[in-house]
Amino acid sequence: MSWLNFAIFLPILYAIFIPFFYKKVPTIHTGWFVFPIPLVLFIYLTTSIPGIANGETFMHTVSWIPSLGINFTTYLDGLSLILALLITGVGTLVIFYSVFYLSMKREALHNFYIYLLLFMGAMLGVVLSDNLMVLYLFWELTSVSSFLLIAFWYQRDKSRYGAQKSMLITVFGGISMLAGFIMLQSMTGTWSVREIIGQAGTLSDSSLFIPAMLLVLLGAFTKSAQFPFHIWLPDAMEAPTPVSAYLHSATMVKAGIYLVARFTPVFGGDATWFWVVSSVGLITLFWGSFTAVRQTDLKALLAYSTISQLGMIMSMLGIGSAALYFTEGGDNFEMYSVAVLAALFHLINHSTFKGALFMVVGIVDHETGTRDIRKLGGLMTIMPITFTFAAIGSFAMAGLPPFNGFISKEMFFTAVLNASELGIFNMQTLGVLFPVVAWVASVFTFVYCMILVFRTFTGKYKPEKLEKSAHEAPLGMLIPPGILVSFVVVIFFFPQTLADYILNPAVQAVIPLENGSYYTSIYAWHGWELELYMTIGVVVLGGLLFLYLKKWEGVYSLFPKEWSFNTVYNGILSGSEKGADKITGTYMTGYLRHYLVYIFMFMIVAIGGTIFVTNGFVIDMSNDAPVNAYEMILLGIIAVAAVSIIFAKSRLTAIILNGVLGYMIAIFFVIFRAPDLALTQLVIETVSAALFLLCFFFLPEWKKENSTNKVKGFNLVISIGVGTVITLVTLSIQGNRFFDSISSYFEDAYDLAGGKNIVNAILADFRSFDTMLEILVLCIAGLGVYTLVKLKSSEGDDEREGE
pLDDT digit string, tens, across residues 686-724: 988 888 888 877 777 766 656 677 777 888 888 889 988
Model confidence band, residue 514 (pLDDT cutoffs 50, 70, 90): low
46 contacts 54 by C-beta, under 8 angstroms: no
Report the mean per-residue pLDDT for the chain. 88
Tell me: the pLDDT tens digits for 731-768? Answer: 887 766 667 777 777 777 777 777 777 777 777 777 77
Q: How many CB atoms lie within 10 A of CB 650?
A: 12
Exposed, middle or buried: residue 786 (CB in 10 Å: 0-12, 13-18, 19+)? Answer: exposed
Angle at CA of residue 614, ends 613 and 615, nearest 5°: 95
Top pLDDT among 286 and 697 is at 286
Least confident of 536-550, 651-665, 697-711, 771-785: 697-711
Predicted local distance difference test score (pLDDT) of residue 87 = 96
Top pLDDT among 2 and 346 is at 346
Crossing angle of helices 331-368 and 252-267, in 10° steps, is 170
pLDDT > 70? residue 672: yes
Predicted local distance difference test score (pLDDT) of residue 646 = 79
- DSSP notation for 401-459: TTSHHHHHHHHHHHHHHHHHT--STTHHHHTTHHHHHHHHHHHHHHHHHHIIIIIHHSS
pLDDT > 70? residue 799: no
Exposure b/e, 123-132, CB count within 10 A at least 16 = b:
bbbbbbbbbb
What is the pTM (predicted TM-score) of this model?
0.82
| DSSP classification of residue 526 | -
Percent of the chain with pLDDT over 90: 58
Q: How do strand 70-76 and strand 58-65 relate by DSSP bridges?
A: antiparallel
Tell me: the pLDDT tens digits for 560-576? Answer: 777 788 888 999 999 99
Predicted local distance difference test score (pLDDT) of residue 703 = 64
148 contacts 222 by C-beta, under 8 angstroms: no
What is the three-class DSSP state of 131? Answer: strand
Predicted local distance difference test score (pLDDT) of residue 193 = 95
pLDDT > 70? residue 328: no
| DSSP classification of residue 589 | -
Tell me: the pLDDT tens digits for 390-421? Answer: 999 999 999 999 999 999 999 999 999 988 88
Predicted local distance difference test score (pLDDT) of residue 702 = 65
pLDDT > 80? residue 298: yes
Predicted local distance difference test score (pLDDT) of residue 409 = 95
Predicted local distance difference test score (pLDDT) of residue 231 = 93
Predicted local distance difference test score (pLDDT) of residue 474 = 92
Tell me the C-alpha distance between 757 and 676, whole Å. 9
Tell me: the pLDDT tens digits for 15-39? Answer: 999 999 988 888 899 999 999 999 9
Tell me: the pLDDT tens digits for 624-669? Answer: 778 888 888 988 998 898 888 878 777 788 888 888 989 999 998 8
Question: Cis before residue 228, ω within 30 degrees of 0?
Answer: yes
Top pLDDT among 744 and 536 is at 536
Q: How many CB atoms lie within 10 A of CB 633?
A: 11
